Amino acid sequence: MTQLQQPAWVYMQGDLVPWEQANLHISTEAVTRGLSVYEGLKGYWDEDDRNFGVIAVREHFERLRRSARLLHIPFDMSFAEFERAAHRLLGVLLTPGRDMWLRATVYVVEGHWGEGTVADLVLTAFHQPKARPEPISVGVSTWQRAGDAVLPPRVKMTSNYTMARLARIEGRPRGHSEMILLNGSGRVAEATGSCILMVRDGRVVTPPATEGRLEGITVDIVARICDTLGIPFMERPIDRTELYVADELACAGTLAEIVPIEQVDDFTLPRQRPVLDQVAERYWQAARGQIAQKGIERSFVSTSTETGMSSLANG
Ligand code: PMP
């Protein structure tokens, strides 16, 4: 069972507070209606240069703003303030040698039915293992990704994860660590916590966001990597049956990176993954600052200060 870490500090109400004091009242819409939007960012420790860089901070900030705007949640923090807050928390929590996942959540802390809405940015950060992602077995869930007019999947709102949770519960007894959700038309939307990459005839394919997936940051980076490597990349709808006859499949997301899929339901995929292994390797190296890649910018965090001065560098 996954044991949740309890880091010493949390960022909320514009300051660092001890983990035990990071509480929300039961009367808030964040609690009563599950009203919050969030982001998951990843930071990597580079042993050679002895620095810690968080990738794609601006892209995550922009998506957080889009998610909040769609739900009429006021969130007017500037990028500089957001980055400073992230550096401040990471600066006190990071341990040399270890990678971290930063969760940025905008909770609705005041207001009722959309009147008088007040929100607060809360940041938490957790250490992450450094191991390369192992191939996984996935299933196609009987639960569906909600449509744009129900719970818009293109933004990252907490309520979208209720169905994802049910899908994971459904898949666990069948040995699936991740599940693929179809949209209302029976085509592939995404996995519960990542987007889907498929290879057919040497071409990398992912469904467009209009098929019911999050506007994923990692798939956008993959598109840039494919461009660099000269691999054709396209967004188009994917039928469920294409998953079973695909040459290669992988999940793509910030936390897990590019995770090879070896089995979908009862179908075993080819062992060789010449295209996605190449893409995954380049992502792995670029995220850690070992090579420069267009689309991956790293924001460096200083370990030594509590205020965490910002320094952006192009990677
Ligand atoms: N879809 C869902 C439902 C997710 O939770 C995530 C993880 N944020 C993704 C896709 C991948 O998005 P990203 O590459 O921006 O992390």
What are the tens digits of pLDDT across the range 164-197?
A: 999 999 999 999 999 999 999 999 999 999 999 9
The tokens 């290879």 sit on which residue?
199
Using a 6 Å cutoff on CB, does residue 217 contact ligand 1? yes
Q: According to the model, what pLDDT value does residue 196 have? A: 98
Ligand 1: nearest atom to the Cα of 153: 3
Using a 6 Å cutoff on CB, does residue 216 contact ligand 1? yes
DSSP state of 20: G
Ligand 1 pocket check: which of 166, 194, 211 to mutate, most ligand atoms within 8 Å of Cβ? 194
> Tokens standing for 180?
């693929």
The neighbour count for residue 169, using CB atoms within 10 Å, is 12
Global pTM value: 0.95
Sign, CA dihedral 300-305-306-307, equals negative
Question: How many angstroms does the Cα of residue 195 sit away from the middle of ligand 1?
Answer: 6
pLDDT digit string (tens) for 95-125?
999 999 999 999 999 999 999 999 999 999 9
258 in helix, strand or coil?
strand
pLDDT digit string (tens) for 250-264?
999 999 999 999 999
Q: According to the model, what pLDDT value does residue 48 have? A: 87
| Confidence at 227, pLDDT banded by 50, 70, 90 | very high
Choice between 2 and 189, residue whose per-residue pLDDT is larger = 189
Helix 217-229 and helix 57-70: axis angle, to 10°? Answer: 140
Using a 6 Å cutoff on CB, does residue 152 contact ligand 1? no
Using a 6 Å cutoff on CB, does residue 67 contact ligand 1? no
Using a 6 Å cutoff on CB, does residue 190 contact ligand 1? yes
Of the candidates 279, 223, 227, 229, the one whose C-alpha atom is nearest the C-alpha of residue 249 is 279
Q: According to the model, what pLDDT value does residue 312 have? A: 36
Question: How many angstroms does the Cα of residue 193 sit away from the middle of ligand 1?
Answer: 5
Ligand 1 pocket check: which of 38, 57, 145, 214 to mutate, most ligand atoms within 8 Å of Cβ? 214
Q: Which helix (H) or strand (E) holds 42?
A: strand 36-46
Q: According to the model, what pLDDT value does residue 306 have? A: 54
Ligand 1: nearest atom to the Cα of 39: 8
Across the chain, what does the average pLDDT equal? 94
- Closest protein CA for atom 5 of ligand 1: 193
Q: According to the model, what pLDDT value does residue 85 have? A: 97
Question: How many angstroms does the Cα of residue 304 sit away from the middle of ligand 1?
Answer: 31
Rounded mean pLDDT, 75-92: 97
Strand partners, 9: 18
Q: According to the model, what pLDDT value does residue 113 have? A: 95
In our burial notation (b when 16+ CB lie closer than 10 A, e otherwise), range 96-123 reads eeebbbbebbbbbbebeeeeebebbbbb
CB 204 within 8 Å of CB 232: yes
Distance CA 21, CA 272 (A): 49
Rounded mean pLDDT, 145-149: 96
